[in-house]
Amino acid sequence: MMNIAIIGYGNAVLNYHLPYLERRETINVKYIFRREEDRVKEGTEHENWYPSIRFTTNLDDILHDTDIDLVVICTHVDSHVEYATRALENSKHVLVEKPFAPTIEEANQVFDLAKSKGLIAMANQNRRFDGDFLTLKKVLESGKLGNIIEIQSHYDYFMPQFAKKGNYGFLYGLAVHTIDQIISVYGKPDDIHYDVRSAFYPGESDDYIDIDFYFGRTKVTVKSSIAVKLEHPKFTVHGDKGSFIKYSSGHQKKNPDGPTQVNFEVEPESNWGSISYIDEKGKEYEERVPSEITDYGILYEKLYQAINNNGEKPVKDEEVVTVLHVLENGLAVAKNTK
């Protein structure tokens, strides 16, 4: 059994961590740390949703408990490095929400500290286990599309009311997910072209993202915007043997009167992916691709193996640094686009 403590109790913890950890028999959430000011501001009623977890406002309860193997940091990025450093100095492995750190330099400092102590520090890139992305990977690995020429990845909303001057954070808070997905498949790109800006306040926000990654002959475009009214396919893929499209997969059943309940059922066939391709004999095929199931707990399972059984670290340090490099450069472009 691996005992963990979580720092923070916001949206990420309630919707993307705890509902998936409930199904893991090898992982026990012993503590959740909340700052006293957060308990006063947000209330404590929803702490009762998890009676088996000890809620504390004293970080030392976690840091000095020798039963705690892993500390999960789910706070604003500005505090990630501080909490990760304190946990590592107290001999705890750390899993840190994305973005892992504000800068590459700070990320490397955390990684170096972890290595010096024989511990794991890792980014929580849980969106690698989105059902739609797992479905995309299944299609790519099948080889049915041949050599991949182009992939388009969309993560869009229609919420222009949120466009504000100085409201940077769309790149770091949203596009970070899909950027990491692509890096996890193809690694470090050969070249990157950036179009990061604001459709509403040029040079003062980053609400429009269009980044082209080049991996040999394959081009991957990651797009995010708050000004998309009609839904795009989540993924569009073109290869020299065929094409594939997949719309976004839902993954949660939210319960306003209690903890989030996760849907682990295969989504309806109406939202499965569609593939059209030709085989080596020139025969044409049109198929529906059953959707994979979203399960963010898989990342915890892989991390458990890395900590306890010398398994491979599921999110590599160099992948985290590559993603941060893209984020830093993209934000610089946004700030200089008039």
Range of the domain at 243: 130-297+325-335
Model confidence over 173-197: pLDDT tens digits?
A: 999 999 999 999 999 999 999 999 9
Statement to judge: residues 162 and 250 lie in one domain: yes
Judged against a pLDDT cut of 90, whether residue 221 lies above it is answered with: yes
Model confidence over 247-286: pLDDT tens digits?
A: 999 766 777 778 998 888 889 999 999 999 999 999 999 9
Statement to judge: residues 116 and 144 lie in one domain: no
The pLDDT value recorded for residue 118 is: 97
Measured between alpha carbons, how far is residue 91 from residues 63, 162, 316 in Å? 8, 41, 20
Judged against a pLDDT cut of 80, whether residue 37 lies above it is answered with: yes
Judged against a pLDDT cut of 90, whether residue 69 lies above it is answered with: yes
Contact in structure between 285 and 119 (CB atoms under 8 Å):
no
What pTM, to 2 d.p., does this model score?
Answer: 0.95
Statement to judge: residues 181 and 291 lie in one domain: yes
Dihedral (Cα; 155, 158, 162, 166), 10-degree rounding: 50
What is the average per-residue pLDDT within 124-145? 97
Last residue of a domain, one of 123, 157, 173: 123
With cut-offs at 50, 70 and 90, classify the pLDDT of residue 75.
Answer: very high
Q: Taking all residues of the chain, what is their mean pLDDT, rounded to a whole number?
A: 95
The pLDDT value recorded for residue 17 is: 97
The pLDDT value recorded for residue 338 is: 80
Is 311 among the domain residues? no
Statement to judge: residues 41 and 150 lie in one domain: no
Dist. CA 182–CA 190, nearest whole Å:
13
The pLDDT value recorded for residue 36 is: 95
Statement to judge: residues 147 and 190 lie in one domain: yes
What is the average per-residue pLDDT within 154-160? 93
**Domains: count for the chain:** 2
Statement to judge: residues 112 and 202 lie in one domain: no
Q: Give the CATH number for residue 92.
A: 3.40.50.720
Is 146 among the domain residues? yes
Structural tokens at position 327: 């984020």
Dist. CA 325–CA 337, nearest whole Å:
19
Is 209 among the domain residues? yes
Is 168 among the domain residues? yes
Is 154 among the domain residues? yes
Statement to judge: residues 63 and 137 lie in one domain: no
Last residue of a domain, one of 71, 96, 123: 123
Rg (C-alpha) for the chain, rounded Å, is 21
> In the 3-class helix/strand/coil scheme, how is 71-125 assigned residue by residue?
EEECCCHHHHHHHHHHHHHCCCEEEEECCCCCCHHHHHHHHHHHHHCCCCEEEEC
Q: Give the CATH number for residue 139.
A: 3.30.360.10
Dist. CA 160–CA 209, nearest whole Å:
14
Is 314 among the domain residues? no
Statement to judge: residues 251 and 108 lie in one domain: no
How many residues appear in the chain? 338
Is 88 among the domain residues? yes
With cut-offs at 50, 70 and 90, classify the pLDDT of residue 114.
Answer: very high
Determine the 3-state secondary structure of 225 from DSSP.
strand
With cut-offs at 50, 70 and 90, classify the pLDDT of residue 313.
Answer: very high
With cut-offs at 50, 70 and 90, classify the pLDDT of residue 300.
Answer: very high
Structural tokens at position 112: 């170096």
Statement to judge: residues 165 and 65 lie in one domain: no
> Which residues, other chains included, contact 194 with Cβ-Cβ below 8 Å and sequence gap of 6+?
211, 329, 330, 333
What is the full DSSP assignment across 122-145?
EEE-GGGG-HHHHHHHHHHHHTTT
Peptide bond just before 189 cis, omega within 30 deg: no
Dist. CA 185–CA 183, nearest whole Å:
5
Judged against a pLDDT cut of 80, whether residue 159 lies above it is answered with: yes
Strands 191-197 and 208-215: antiparallel
Statement to judge: residues 116 and 217 lie in one domain: no
